[in-house]
Structure 1
Amino acid sequence: MQHILNTPGGLTDRARRFLATRAHTVPFPVQDNPDDTEVIIRLAPFPEVDRTMTLAGLRRAQERYGGLVYPTSAWSFQEEIRFEPWPYYQESVDHGPLGGFIDHEVAHPYSVTLRSDGAVVYRFAADVAVFADADALIEADALYWECESWNPVVEPHVGQSAAGVREAASRLSLIREGSGNTEWWWESDGFRVHLWRTFAELFQQERQVKWGLWARDEAGLRAAHRFLAGNHLR
């Protein structure tokens, strides 16, 4: 499998532009890569997991993402992150064995890991499967990046009321690429809505929910205000 910077595969044009603009690679692995036998041994405490499939998924992740680096403005990080798929398996009650995936500096989430089926799991007070796969995480980062050049209409902040946002936004077009289990993006008529429950689930604190709205241009700004007024959102 080719590295994602060389063969982006099924990524959207937006995500390809994002990687071309913001990403680079560093040498990977930074230490001796455990061989297949060692990985299988590390998975031995998890008899319910298909070790052959998990090993194959690890090697694909290492080939596709290993050494990828870019700065992200995602609300979960807002820093430079480094993709380091590694068989550092820890047990999760809800998710089984979790391997290392993303290295970062901020304290939260405590770790970003890769589940045996490829889902991206954040860990802190709870273990939360945020994205179905790594490409979805990259697509989300590309959406944040694109929004940096749009006009903010509703500024996100902790403690902001999210009442009614999901119901209202669900009548718009869901951007499936970049949406996950705890955060979603919708778009219509030149504006974009983002609802972020990741830290609310991770810390088990509802006050951590945030949402934002951006407009691409003047027409999008007018449409965004109609959306807000029509759904009694501010």
Structure 2
Amino acid sequence: MSGQTIDGSLFVHLELEAPVTGAAMRVGLLGLGRIGMFHATTLSTLVDDLVVSDADLTRAEEVAGRLGARVGDPFDADAVVIATPTSTHAEALLRACDRGVPAFCEKPAAPTVAETQRVREAVRRGGVAVHIGFQRRFDAGYVAAREAPRAALVKAVASARTTVVHVETVPGGGSGAQAWWDVPIAEVSGLAGTRAAREHYGEAKRDQRPYL
């Protein structure tokens, strides 16, 4: 098992070598909002035992019944997917590290630099595999924007503009102001390596603003 920081400060990636035993896989899912339901639907077709949990027990029971999952402790599993509001990510990741459960967490790891550093240190100490979901890095349009300067098609990217349409799919669950914190994180991550992205990260680090 080896630990490696991807960019020197933000993430920890662990490469694990484990034999394939054919044993049933149990995956926990914490949070059944808009993105949580996406993960629930996907995981229900991939794993043997899906354990779901949500602050709304009635919703958790309804989803479990519909997808053939069960309600329970999502950390009592072989791995856990964290899809709760941003303000709860750090606490959930720390719990996963404490219990030695590999985790996939929706971005960001935490709403502040200090909390993110706590998570990073917990991952390093515990040797737990943790992955933060920055999906924009794999979107075709963002990949093209990142590669253009490298291919000398443009000299530099000084700024980028995107339009995001958010549709509330969970009754009473909406995103509200939280989207204004979360969406730009994905945009900057997706264009990581451009001058605009480097300046954003540099200014945030210098001023100790939330930037993850």
TM interval, shorter chain, is under 0.3
- TM, length-normalised to structure 1: 0.25
TM-score between both structures, scaled by the size of structure 2: 0.27
Structure number with higher relative contact order (C-alpha < 8 Å, ≥ 6 residues apart):
2
